[in-house]
Each structure stands twice: as C-alpha cells, then as structure tokens.
Structure 1
Amino acid sequence: MIANRHRMQKIGRRLIIFLGFIFLIVGYVMAYLKGLPLLEQARASKDWPVTTGEVLASDVQSHRSSNSNSSTYSAHVVYRYQVQDKNYEAKTVWFGSDVSTSDRSLAQNTIKKYPIQQSVTVYYDPQHPETAVLEPGVFKTTWFYYLFGWVFLGTGILMTGIPLFSSFFRLFMKSGPIETANFAE
C-alpha cells in the first residue's frame, strides 16, 4: 500500500514537472517571441516615416468559440498605401489591435474612426515597408502577449521549481549533514 502510494506520488510529481515545462515553453513563446517584438515595434513606430493611405475595408468581426455561448469582437481594417512607387496593404491599426475582446464597442469605435475610402496617415517601417500601423506607439492591448506569456512562465516556474527543489532538498537530507571544519582548534 505504501509502495503504491509512493509510486503514485512519483508519477504525479513527474506529470507536474512535465506540465510545468509545457507552461514554460508556451510562456516563452508568448512573452519573448510574440510579445516583446510587438512591444519593440510599437515603441519604434512613433519614429517611423509617414505616407498617405486609403481604407479598403472596415468592419467588426465576431469570433465565437465552440465551447462557449459568448463571442469576442475585433476591428478588421484593411488599408492600402504606397512607399517608393510600390503598393502595400496592411491590417494593423495599432500594435496589439488584433486582440479580440468581449467588448464590441471597442471594435465599433475603431471602425468608426476608419470608414471605407477614408484617407489615412500610415506609419511604416523604413526597413520593412510592408509593416505599417495607423496609430503608432504602445497601447494597453500591446502588452497582452507579453504579460499573458509571463503568467504562463510564472506558473511553469512554480510547477517545475517546487518539485525539483523539494527533490534536491530530500536528496541533500538523505546524504546526511555537511561536516564543517573546526578552525577553533
């Protein structure tokens, strides 16, 4: 009975550590491969050159999950602009505007600002002119991927760190106390 309980604890500990590593990987991808570059682009966009563009599409998109009765909404704005006689199309209103929320009014307010065929000021990346934004800078939603990634990272650190630390502690306690040199003699 005790051996079976010990075996189940060992399996449970390994499962928690495995899931912790999954959380670490997902958190790293969200925070550092998606969130941090988004924040860096948003900060840099304030200094990008500008050109004039035209709104081609502007509507609210509804997203309904299969396991929920609720919907989330996002503004879908497509605009065309020209840099050095080359035409580009982009969809980014601000960095982080692709985050869907349950508040439909946020998406509606965004599309009201950008009706179809309206002339707009477009900020574009001089090294990559295909990357553009209508509203430069960092907004609350720009932080979403970075902060959400850190939620996963923190959970993963706890899920892997606590069992690993306790395993090392038990291993240390089994080996006996550390003998110290007595320099007083």
Structure 2
Amino acid sequence: MNHQSIYRTKTRMHQVGRKLVLFIGFVFIFVGYLMAYQKGLPLLERAKASKEWPTTDGVVLESKIESHHSSNSSSSTYSPKVIYRYEVEGQKFKGDTVWFGNDVSTSDRSMSSKTVKKYPVQKNVIVYYDPAEPAVAVLEPGVFKTTYFFYLFGWLFLGLGLLMTSGILFRSLLRLFRGPTEIQQSADSAD
C-alpha cells in the first residue's frame, strides 16, 4: 500500500467515526430531552403543585413490594406497589402514586418495605388529587429525592450528547471558514 491509499483509508475511517459519534450524540440528546422535558419536568411541576391540591378520603386496596430482575445481571431492584381507591364528586378512582417518583426502582429493598408497612391493605388514607384531572392523585404531596430522577438523568444524557456532537460540529465549522488544508496541516503537526 502506498502513502496515498493509507491516507485515504485513514480519512475514510475518520469520517465514518465522526458520523457514528454524531449519530450516537444525537440519540443521547433525543433521549435526554425526552427524559428531562417530557417525563422529568412535568413530574416535578406536578409534585410541587400537589401540595395545594384538595384532599379526599381513600382506602388502600393492595400493598406489596415489586421485584424487578435484570436479564443480564443477577441483581434485583425493588419498588413499592400501593393501590388505593378514592372518590371525587361521586366518581370512583384508583391511584397507585404514593409520591411522585415512587416508581423508580432501587436496589434498597428497605425503602420499599417501609412504604408497604406504612400503607397496609384496608388502611384509611388521605388522598391529594388534581382538581383539573381527578384521576391523578398522590398520598404524599411535594417533591422528594426520587422525583428528580428523570429530570437529572435526562440532563446527564443531554450533556453527554452535547459533548459528543459539539466537538465534531465545531471542527466542521472551522473547516468551512479556514479551509480543509489548514485544519489537516494543524492535525498532522499535532500527531
């Protein structure tokens, strides 16, 4: 192989690598946006608003710990499953939200165990419900640590995606303004 064909192969590999990193970066940005702004932020806003919601009486119908097994690992995560019934203006509803973010599974079984013990079957509870959408309810209003999970995790994905794509896009802009030969010369001198 001569020097010219090695250079072309290297250039082609760099282009494929850049495109792959760009693609993965954009996937991270998309997933991060969905997690942070479609799931996380509405959850946070609802949790903050729930402190002002009206209340009604309810009763716990089901209370247990759910175990989630990972297919590629022997470890398990746990989450509490509490289902309660309540009534708003003569209409009956069922809810399963103890606090906003309680659907996040953790490896700490004791957290789920405490929740299940706190809300045994047949316990009378006070239910906070959204006056605009009474089917949305919660037993413990407000913001908790796990309420931030989707928002923060989404921003982690967004940040990684932005880091992955910004370097490549910045170099492409430089190439437009400075010309490809100057950038190639500076890259060769860096090697």
Bin the TM-score by the shorter chain.
Answer: over 0.9
* Alignment correspondent of 2:15: 10
Counterpart pick for 2:97 among 92, 95, 102: 92
Counterpart pick for 2:163 among 131, 146, 158: 158
Please tell me whether residue 106 in structure 1 is matched to residue 111 in structure 2. yes
Please tell me whether residue 66 in structure 1 is matched to residue 71 in structure 2. yes
Q: Please tell me the root mean square deviation across aligned C-alpha atoms, in Å.
A: 1.3
Equivalent pairs: percent with the same residue?
59
* Alignment correspondent of 1:182: none
Measured against aligned partners, the alpha-carbon deviations of 1:89-132 in whole angstroms (never above 9, x if no partner) come to 01000000000000000000001110000000000000100000
Measured against aligned partners, the alpha-carbon deviations of 1:132-161 in whole angstroms (never above 9, x if no partner) come to 000000000000000000000001101111
Unpaired segments of 5 or more residues in structure 2?
A: 1-5, 183-191
Displacement over 2 Å in runs of 4+: none
Q: Which amino acid aligns with 2:68?
A: H
3-state DSSP of counterpart to 1:58: strand
3-state DSSP of counterpart to 2:66: strand
Return the offset for 1:71: 0.1
Please tell me whether residue 83 in structure 1 is matched to residue 83 in structure 2. no
Return the offset for 1:73: 0.1
Return the offset for 1:167: 1.4
The alignment's TM-score, normalised by the length of structure 2, stands at: 0.91
Please tell me whether residue 146 in structure 1 is matched to residue 146 in structure 2. no
Q: C-alpha separation between the residues in 2 aligned to 1:41 and 1:109?
A: 24
* Alignment correspondent of 1:183: none
* Alignment correspondent of 1:39: 44
Q: C-alpha separation between the residues in 2 aligned to 1:73 and 1:92?
A: 15
Please tell me whether residue 130 in structure 1 is matched to residue 119 in structure 2. no
3-state DSSP of counterpart to 2:34: helix
Please tell me whether residue 49 in structure 1 is matched to residue 33 in structure 2. no
3-state DSSP of counterpart to 2:68: strand
Q: C-alpha separation between the residues in 1 aligned to 2:72 and 2:19?
A: 30
Q: Which amino acid aligns with 1:51?
A: T
**1 or 2, which has the higher helix percentage?**
2
3-state DSSP of counterpart to 2:65: strand
* Alignment correspondent of 2:3: none
Q: Which amino acid aligns with 1:171?
A: L
Counterpart pick for 1:173 among 174, 178, 184: 178
The alignment's TM-score, normalised by the length of structure 1, stands at: 0.93
Q: C-alpha separation between the residues in 1 aligned to 2:81 and 2:180?
A: 63
* Alignment correspondent of 1:25: 30
